Every structure is written in C-alpha cells, then in structure tokens.
Amino acid sequence: MGDTGRGLLGLLSPTLLGQLLRELPRGETLAENVQGGLLTPEFVQRLRGEGFSGYALAQLKANLAWLAFYKGRLLEAWRQTDQGSSHGVAAYQATQGELAGGTLSLYRLSPEAIPPILALTGGILRAAALPAGSVVAADLFASLGQEGFTGALVLEDGSSGQGWYFSRGQVLFGAEIPGGFGAGRLHMAHTSAEAPPDLFTVLEQQEQQRQQERLEALWGAAQAVLREYMGRGAVPALERLRRTHTAQDPGTLGPSLRRWLETSLEPNAALMFDRLVKG
C-alpha cells in the first residue's frame, strides 16, 4: 500500500469518521447485525485462512467499531470511545472485550478497495481543510485520475460529510463525480506505500514477549532461591534444573519449579519462590 501516517484522524471528528465508515459500500454481505460474540478466535482464523478482504462493523452499545481486512490480514481497527476514538491494537483489543454485548456485520470487498479506505486512518495527509467552494470538482477528479492517485477524498460539511475512494486514479464503488462541492472543507490522504503491520501478528509478538518475560522471571526467582539455600552450588544446580525443566509455558514451568524446590530443598524454599515470583 512511504511511511504510514494517521490519515485524517486528526481532522475528522469521531462522529464524522463513523458516518463515513458506516456508509462504505457493502459489497458481499456475509453477516449483518448478528451477535458480536460470533467473532470468535476460531472464526477470525478462518477469515485469515481464506484470505478475506473486507471489513467488519460492530455496534458496541452507543459506540461503533470497524475492522479492516486485506487478504487475510487485519490491517486496521478503529473504535469510538466516550473520549473520542482509538485505533490499532488497542482498538482491536477493546472491541474484542465488548463484542459479546454488541452486534456485528461483515462485508467482503475486492482487495484493491481496501488500501484506499485505509487512507482514512493510516494514510499520508495530502491536503487539509481546503475551502470546498474554491475547488472545481471536475478538475480535481481529472487531476487525481491523471496522476494515478490511490487514497481518500473527504468533503466535511459541519457534522456530516462524504467520501470518495480512488485506486490508481479510478474512482471506486461507482461513485459519481459531483457537479460541485459547495460549502464545506476538503481533506485528502493518499495510501501509504507500505502496508501497515498485521494486527494479528503484532498481538502474537506481544504475547510471545510477555511469555518470555514471564519465563525469565520464573528462572530468576528459582536462581535466587538456589543461591539462598545452596550458595556456590547454586550455579551447577540451576544448570541441571534447566536441563530437566524445559517447558516453555509459564503456566507449566512455574508449578514444576515450585514442586522441585519444595521436595528437593524444603517447603520454605517454595514459599520464597512464590514471594519472588509475585514481586
């Protein structure tokens, strides 16, 4: 899809951006207003495996959430909040936490339609707050077509607005060129040349990092206990312990180390291990 940016996030109100996302073309409807809890991890994995391109809209009480998929990758999540909005991993995690009490709609689009839409929240700002009345619509659309523009053009008129999306200079979704813009302000963002990271991959990497930190904390606690009880013999004892306790899951390794300390040393060693692990 240059560096990723924030698109029009700093220019459009959450209300207007929510309106634009609600008004996106529906393409092929896969689900509409179904129970939000149906977006299970298993279903998400299915979307990944199928290389799904499209978007999901979730109604979470009074707030809206939007997820954008491109060839099986989750490239954006955006969510209205009481204070404004959030996007990226934080928005996805918050949405997942509230989906059970909301409704979900899922729409398939062609892969080429997704990058221009992503310009709304992750594109590179091209123009901001241009007086719409001073721009000749036909000339602007012709210019964008000649340059092969890919991105989003938004007309903001008070609390409402309209969006047009371009792929290589072509206006998508059969949108008509307006006769004129009239009142309001124009904003434009072009799609970043580099695709944003897959949020699924980011989350997996974060979980792996948390797992590694937890493992290191467990081994650090075990080492401290061994030093307390064995002095100089702690180093070879720790090496032997590492060879016999190879679990990479903290939920398995922690109890295993605790049992060894309790049976090989004494119960108080296990209690010391507990205190160190808890910090």
Q: How far apart are CA 89 and CA 207, in angstroms?
A: 12
CB-based contact 118:133 (threshold 8 Å): no
Question: What beta strand segments (E) does 2-100 contain?
Answer: 28-35, 54-60, 63-70, 73-81, 84-87
Q: How far apart are CA 27 and CA 173, in angstroms?
A: 9
Angle value at C-alpha 137, between 135 and 139, nearest 5 degrees: 90
Per-residue pLDDT of the chain (279 residues; tens, 9 = 90+): 434 568 899 999 999 999 999 999 999 999 999 999 888 878 888 999 999 999 999 999 889 999 999 999 999 999 998 889 999 999 999 998 888 889 999 999 999 999 999 999 999 999 999 999 999 999 999 999 999 999 999 999 988 899 999 999 999 999 999 999 988 999 999 999 888 899 999 999 999 999 999 999 999 999 999 999 999 999 999 999 999 999 999 999 999 999 999 999 999 999 999 999 998
User: Helices 199-230 and 250-264 meet at what angle, rounded to 10?
Assistant: 10
Residues 54 and 110: their CA atoms lie apart, in Å, by 7
- The pLDDT value recorded for residue 1 is 44
Distance CA 269, CA 276 (A): 11
Task: Please give the Cα distance from 261 to 142 (Å, whole number).
Answer: 75
Type of residue at 272: M
The pTM (predicted TM-score) of the whole model is 0.84
Residue 12: beta bridge partners? none
Say what the pLDDT of residue 37 is: 86
Residue given tokens 């964008």 in the structure block: 144
Residue 44: predicted pLDDT = 84
What element of type H or E holds 141?
A: helix 137-147
Contacts of 125 (CB under 8 A, 6+ apart): 5, 6, 7, 8, 11, 187, 188, 189
